[in-house]
Structure 1
């Protein structure tokens, strides 16, 4: 397949309109998606414009150090979906609103055990190996409380680590 000046100009036009390589290949005919991608790279064309709608306003990013609220009502997420359009599949980004209703049920009489603050070299088969803190910080340690039945965790950390699958499904 030869890239004539006419076909190259049409490729540039379709690329700037935001069409995918598959869509451009279908419109040009006689050329594969990979050939279109290769030509785009050889021509050093800029990234495509987003297709399928108006550009969305950028949402401000949440600072990473700020704690997240444990119970919020709605969340907007951008998802990429594919839909058929003739012989090609078009991928679009859509915004999906999730309404999340989390019921917080306070557990009665929860006792958080004091950790024994053991180092890695101090752990045995009968001590809780639940990590506490950032491993890169000096304060990092393990729980170290007694663990029953050769379990890696104490009773409290077992309840955190091993949740029944029915509870996990309900939390989604």
Structure 2
């Protein structure tokens, strides 16, 4: 199908009248909806608002107010630019993000085993298989400390690997 000057003028007129690409394709005949959309883009014809849609300005006016900050929420607030998409345009907004105050409290009752530094070929069913270091480096090894029958890890590494759900929730609630 060729886009003759007459067909292009008819396309422009129907587009200006507000017909959809499917309706224009039906009136032109021998052309698909996608072909109409492609030609509209190549001709740089002005876009139209989607039916029932709203503009970006209307959207920001409808946004609800931010909820009040709880009393136990940290007072420190940082702003950082974030991208917000409105239609096909990404806009930068400065958004206030509350950052919680985090502090590390080391545990005093942790006993870290002295690694036996075993290679993969030296591991048995009863040795800890916790990897240590970078696998691509020469000094990579496994813990190698005696492990229980129920776990591939020693007691220390098993506590790291298998954290009960309740403990993870408590840790998340503290943060």
TM normalised by structure 1 equals 0.49
TM normalised by structure 2 equals 0.49
Give the structure, 1 or 2, with the largest relative contact order (CA under 8 Å, sep 6 or more): 1
Greater Rg, structure 1 or structure 2?
Answer: 2
